[in-house]
Chains A and B, each alone.
Chain A
Amino acid sequence: MLKLTLNGKALSLDADPAMPLLYAIRDIAELTGTKFGCGMGLCGACTVHLDGEPIRSCVTPLSAAQDKAITTIEGLANDQAMHPLQAAWVANKVPQCGYCQSGQIMSAAALLEKNASPSDSEIEEAMQGNICRCGTYPRIKKAIKEAASNLQKVKA
């Protein structure tokens, strides 16, 4: 049995330790907000946090998550209705098809945890692993800055 914490809840899984975390989250835990995009860690659609670090769950074996805490898009807001990034995403009408946006938001959330006020180039650096085929990058950039600024206001 593999033990881990998923969005704050303890979880025991009887699964192949080599199974990528993505499929455990989607098929076994039935949380489908985390998406499959490439299976090679190339597109970022499957991004989740492993002990706070953004990882590509499609190439991270379940064994690497043993005894660790995983946060998915469903758990990002914690006790709020929405994380400030999710609210900024809505305010800026970022999504088109929306499929990549869980991964985009999880990457952005990890960025803001480390850097409360990222510059354009820091945002590009942190987000270049997340592909959006619809072309929402300019709005993603804007929403990250807006969320960062709103978070600063809350702290001030």
Chain B
Amino acid sequence: MSLTGRTGGVLMLGSALGGIGLSSLTSTASAMPITDKTDGLGQDLGAFVTIKQDGSVDIICHRAEMGQGILTSVPQIIADELGADWSRVNAVLGNADPKYGNQSTGGSASIRRHFAHIRQMGATARDLLEQAAANKWGVDKSKVKARNHQVVYLDKSLSFGELAEAAAKLPLPDPASLTLKDSADYTLIGKQDIALQGLDSIVTGQATYAQDVQLPGMLIASIERPPVVGGRVKSFDASEAMKIKGVVDIIRLKDRSFPVNVKPMSGVAVLANNTWAAIEGRKKLKIEWDHGVNVSHDSETYKEELIKKVASKGKEARVEGDVYAHTFDSSKTVEATYTVPYHHHMSMETPAATAVIEGDHCRVWSGTQSPQWGKNLVLEELGLDPKTDYDKVEFNTTLMGGAFGRKSKNDFTVEAVELAKASGKAVKVVWSREDDVKHGFYHSTAANYLKAELTDDNRSDNWIQRVVAPPIAWIFDDKTSHLTDGDLSLGFADIPFDIKNLSCETPEVTTHVRTGWLRSVGNINNAFALGSFVDELAAKAGVNTEQMWINLLGEDRTFDPRSEGFKGYTHYGQNDNQDYFLQIARFKEVLREVVAKSGADNKLPEGQGWGISVAASFNSYAAAATKVSVADGKVTVLEMHTAIDCGLVITPDRVRSQMEGAMIMGLSMAMESEITIKDGAVVQNNFHDYPVSRMPQVPDLHVHLVKSDEAPGGVGEPGLPPILPSITNAIYHASGTRIRDLPVKKTLKI
């Protein structure tokens, strides 16, 4: 079942998913409900768990689903703690609501930062069921136990369904009184064959994404936006557009000033009763733009400026010893500058949001990673006070057809609300692919400079590194002139090497495009630079790359960058949580694992090469090995491996799928994708000029999960950083060509 215009937004819940495998041939495909509204017939046990009349359990997934599999993992953790039978659990996406705690889905944080909180939601519901059973039997709660969808005491048992009504009447337990399961007793966490939530509705076309929302009398909006960031409409003529059959209204969006924030900036919207009419009407608009201050931005010139900037000393982020007092011996020194272009997320689903204002209430449906932030923006847009008017906005989340960081930004949601208010109609804003490519929040183009001198035992005691890129903080404060400590904590100033004299710096920079988080963020360029540079040092020293990593990493130890000169280290939001301090041994372990499993230390025929790299990000450790051939100046990627240590694994298959996806996204980025800017505007348009890997380009992929009892780390992003340098290092070992400027296609045929 899905949200349709005919039901006017009344929602129904699908039944629990059928079995998987060939049995699905006979099971009834059930659809994904898209909101946390239940049918009112269940018993709520806390905010996350509802026991239905048939005894099945609805469990809220309060984090946004964009393909990472959290729709399975959150209910899985809760169901495990609850003692539920997984085949009778149905996941329900949570709307924006502070009762769920933090819903901002980014930074690979859902599990690594909320695991304990999520478990507590299951334990709360379990405690209520156990208390209800204990009351019925007149025994102490400690004597009874919830397992396999029932509560048992000696030879007696009561099913969850039988207990639900009594349990729902009990007061919620004090969270401090709850005991969480011992990890040895997990029944669902870490299970290999756990059925994934929502697959049946996806493969039958029943799942509801933001683009799929339909409301009665809804208009579709297509918006022409300023080509240059900070530009605005000077004047426009809508007369021809209004003549297109189906076009209902033309609305000029508000002009908004810097900082760009995550809001629309300006534009002209064509509202029509179908998408085609909106598109055709938009083609007829005549708009004169005031391009504003960024019209001279040119990404090629800008990159040259970045390269020049990192050639000189910048603002210090981390200093150990005094590397500038050292005179580098050029015969033992490697010095290199690496550059990456702007990148775009290119989710398969372009941004979309729907809004309708009825009286003093507003209902919104959005495919966003940030439902609560989005809701606050909607309140602000409507001039409502979050303290008194919070419930006047209903903010529904949908599945996202990919997001990769782009959909943390709710500019498209604000557009829908602005247009719903201005038109008085229900409005769905749909972005074309060109809109998406040209009005993104891009991964920052970056230049990384490294200089190091080798010691006689093939380590380094003298090391300088610099990074410069337009900072994401600029979108919130346009006076931002440097990368922040948070940016520098993404695989840069947290460099885990044991180096006596080290200086990590960042020069001043100006920003001219909307920058944003893209899967693994600054780790993309930092890991490309460091992974390439270690390979270059290894080549200079005449040792293999794995050995060079081990030498540079030094002794196994716990590494807290804050006590080694990087006071501003942000630790992926873990603050003083020692469970997540960097462990040098874990870097080495994933590296060893990927080399052993791939055979990357074996000799290859002429023209072929292996490349390896390793990176820690989002509290996880990943190493990659890639094999390529280079013949007649053309690169073919033959095989890719990733070894991942993400601590405790919740859903093993989704860790694998994220690693597979990261390898393929890394392949696209390394080989061919690139956003360029000319006269302030994005040059690319669609998949033909922002190509991403297609099936024939993708080699055999292998994922190796390293068994770990450490605290759970991130999964969505950590796979990506080591991929890019593993590819370019492989190209070097196959051909002797060192790629320092991405994408590869600028240097070699692909």
B-contacting residues, A80-100, CB 8 Å: 80-82, 84, 86-87, 89-91, 93-100
- Most chain-B Cβ atoms within 10 A of its Cβ — which of A23, A86, A129, A133? A133
Check B657 for interface membership: any CB of A closer than 8 A.
yes
B692 with A133: CB separation less than 8 A? yes
In the assembled complex, the CB of B131 is this many whole angstroms from the nearest CB of chain A, namely 37
Check A16 for interface membership: any CB of B closer than 8 A.
yes
Binary contact track A29-48/B, C-beta < 8 Å → 1, others 0? 01111111111101101000
For B21, list chain A residues within 8 Å (CB): 87, 90-91
B204 with A134: CB separation less than 8 A? no
- In the assembled complex, the Cα of A134 lies from the Cα of B658 at a distance in Å of 8
- In the assembled complex, the Cα of A37 lies from the Cα of B661 at a distance in Å of 19
- In the assembled complex, the Cα of A150 lies from the Cα of B25 at a distance in Å of 12
Check A74 for interface membership: any CB of B closer than 8 A.
yes
A135 with B348: CB separation less than 8 A? no
For A96, list chain B residues within 8 Å (CB): 67-69, 657-658, 661
Residue of B nearest to A125 (CB): B696
A30 with B694: CB separation less than 8 A? no
A35 with B401: CB separation less than 8 A? yes
B399 with A127: CB separation less than 8 A? no
Check B290 for interface membership: any CB of A closer than 8 A.
no
A16 with B276: CB separation less than 8 A? yes
Partner of A91, one of B20, B209, B275: B20
For B196, list chain A residues within 8 Å (CB): 93
Partner of B686, one of A31, A42, A87, A105: A42
Partner of A89, one of B203, B214, B658: B203
- In the assembled complex, the Cα of A36 lies from the Cα of B275 at a distance in Å of 11
Partner of A98, one of B25, B67, B404, B700: B67
Residue of B nearest to A33 (CB): B205
In the assembled complex, the CB of B340 is this many whole angstroms from the nearest CB of chain A, namely 19
B205 with A90: CB separation less than 8 A? no
For B665, list chain A residues within 8 Å (CB): 133, 135
With A96-B68, A138-B660, A140-B695 in contact, is A105–B203 under 8 Å at CB?
Answer: yes
Binary contact track B194-219/A, C-beta < 8 Å → 1, others 0? 00101110111111110110100000
With A40-B686, A87-B25, A93-B653 in contact, is A99–B203 under 8 Å at CB?
Answer: no
In the assembled complex, the CB of A65 is this many whole angstroms from the nearest CB of chain B, namely 14
Interface 9-residue window, one of B26-34, B120-128, B510-518: B26-34
For B276, list chain A residues within 8 Å (CB): 16, 19-20, 23, 27
A137 with B664: CB separation less than 8 A? yes
In the assembled complex, the CB of B375 is this many whole angstroms from the nearest CB of chain A, namely 23
For A32, list chain B residues within 8 Å (CB): 2, 205, 208-209, 211-212, 214
B-contacting residues, A86-141, CB 8 Å: 86-87, 89-91, 93-102, 105, 123-125, 127-141
B433 with A97: CB separation less than 8 A? no
A97 with B401: CB separation less than 8 A? yes
Partner of B25, one of A36, A81, A137: A81
Partner of B24, one of A33, A72, A91, A98: A91
Partner of A97, one of B212, B402, B688, B695: B402
A38 with B401: CB separation less than 8 A? no
Check A70 for interface membership: any CB of B closer than 8 A.
no
In the assembled complex, the CB of B196 is this many whole angstroms from the nearest CB of chain A, namely 6
Binary contact track B391-417/A, C-beta < 8 Å → 1, others 0? 000000001111110000000000000
With A19-B274, A37-B348, A105-B203 in contact, is A128–B695 under 8 Å at CB?
Answer: yes
- In the assembled complex, the Cα of A77 lies from the Cα of B25 at a distance in Å of 9
- In the assembled complex, the Cα of A131 lies from the Cα of B668 at a distance in Å of 12
For B22, list chain A residues within 8 Å (CB): 87, 91, 150
- In the assembled complex, the Cα of A59 lies from the Cα of B68 at a distance in Å of 31
Residue of A nearest to B701 (CB): A138
Partner of A82, one of B25, B65, B66, B696: B25
For A6, list chain B residues within 8 Å (CB): none
A97 with B348: CB separation less than 8 A? yes
For B661, list chain A residues within 8 Å (CB): 96, 134-136
B350 with A36: CB separation less than 8 A? yes
- Most chain-B Cβ atoms within 10 A of its Cβ — which of A20, A45, A74, A137? A137
A95 with B199: CB separation less than 8 A? yes
B203 with A95: CB separation less than 8 A? yes
B-contacting residues, A1-26, CB 8 Å: 15-16, 19-20, 23, 26
A98 with B202: CB separation less than 8 A? yes
A99 with B402: CB separation less than 8 A? yes
B348 with A45: CB separation less than 8 A? yes
Beyond known contacts A38-B433, A133-B402: 19 more, CB 8 A cutoff: A16-B280, A30-B5, A32-B2, A32-B212, A33-B205, A35-B401, A37-B350, A38-B686, A43-B433, A45-B348, A73-B204, A77-B204, A93-B196, A95-B199, A98-B202, A98-B399, A99-B349, A131-B694, A141-B695
16 A-B pairs (CB sep. < 8 Å): A15-B274, A16-B245, A28-B274, A39-B433, A40-B688, A73-B204, A90-B21, A93-B196, A97-B348, A98-B199, A98-B399, A124-B695, A133-B347, A136-B660, A138-B700, A139-B660
Give chain A's interface residues, CB within 8 Å of chain B.
15-16, 19-20, 23, 26-28, 30-40, 42-43, 45, 72-74, 77, 80-82, 84, 86-87, 89-91, 93-102, 105, 123-125, 127-141, 150
Give chain B's interface residues, CB within 8 Å of chain A.
2, 4-5, 20-22, 24-29, 65-69, 196, 198-200, 202-209, 211-212, 214, 220, 245-246, 274-277, 279-280, 346-350, 399-404, 430, 432-434, 653, 657-658, 660-665, 686-688, 692-696, 698, 700-701
8 tightest A-B contacts by CB?
A: A33-B205, A99-B401, A97-B67, A135-B664, A135-B661, A73-B205, A98-B202, A96-B67
